[in-house]
Copies of this chain bind each other. A is one copy, B any other.
């Protein structure tokens, strides 16, 4: 949202194009070289960090709304977005903290308590994982800041977003055992040590190096290449790549990795 007219129309008429009372929030995890980060934003009218999110167009599927929101902030397309939980505790939106003056300053529009944006909202949570080094963050009139934070040193989050992050992280870690990951977080060709480090970072725990990558190979997800990478004297590990067909199939059908 960039122009005054767009902002005003969204505030005054948005309930005609969007489903009122329902929002989406996205926990976008970013991985790069053994670092795990989370994308956070600051709304123009709210003081404090939140998950990026927004409303669902009346013509859109939930996952399409999530993808549109993620693309708006990161430029990243085709992320594997997973719904993890819907949040609807009555107190979650904190209406009592609604600050009419702040909204007016931020938007230039007189927003009152009967505005569709200020009523009770239930939020559908999605998570995704991407390579944060490949994203280009965008802000606009309604989202003033947007940044990657280390997962271990997040700021205080607004609303129920701390619970959302906790649930997203938990679900992501459970689902790592049931869906393949890594396709857009590793170079096209990678070593077993690299994919091992990716899983360890996402899971936040050590995995058996002698055993773990074998399971990925046994599932047919990795193909060994007839190529090595030289990383030092007497050290040139084999390179691997994903078998894209097996990978896509596993995304649909699920795997058991334990």
Interface residues of A in 1-60 (CB under 8 A from B): 19-22, 56, 58-60
B19 in contact with A19 (CB, 8 Å): no
Q: Which residues of B contact A87 (CB under 8 A)?
A: 62
Cα separation A61 to B258 with both chains bound (whole Å): 34
A174 touches B254 (CB 8 A): yes
Q: Is the CB of B124 within 8 A of A90?
A: no
Copies of this chain held together in the complex: 2
A183–B122 Cα distance when bound, in Å, is 31
Query: Which of B20, B62, B90 is in CB contact (< 8 Å) with A61?
Result: B90
Q: Name the residue on B nearest A92 (C-beta).
A: B61
| A89 contacts partner chain B, Cβ-Cβ < 8 Å | yes
Instruction: Let me know if B88 and A124 touch, CB within 8 A.
Output: yes
Q: Give the complex CA separation of A83 and B22 in angstroms.
A: 17
Does A154 touch B at the CB level, under 8 Å? no
* Residue among A19, A87, A88 facing the most chain B CB atoms (10 A cut-off): A88
| A178 interface contact, C-beta 8 A | yes
What is the chain B residue whose CB lies nearest that of A57?
Answer: B90
- A22 contacts B89, CB within 8 Å? no
Which of A86, A122, A256 has the most chain B CB atoms closer than 10 A to its own CB?
Answer: A86
1/0 contact trace for A116-158 toward B, CB 8 Å?
0000101010000000000000000000000000000000000
Cβ-defined contact, A85 with B88, below 8 A: no
Residues in B neighbouring A254, C-beta threshold 8 A: 174
* Chain B, residue nearest A170 (CB): B254
Which positions 67-86 of chain A face chain B at CB distance < 8 Å? 83, 85-86
* Contact, CB under 8 Å: B19 / A88: yes
7 A-B contacts (beta carbon < 8 Å): A21-B22, A60-B90, A83-B86, A86-B86, A86-B124, A122-B122, A122-B124
Nearest 4 pairs of A and B residues by beta carbon: A62-B88, A21-B21, A86-B86, A258-B258
| Extra pairs beyond A60-B90, A62-B122 (6, CB < 8 Å) | A19-B21, A56-B122, A59-B90, A61-B89, A88-B124, A122-B122
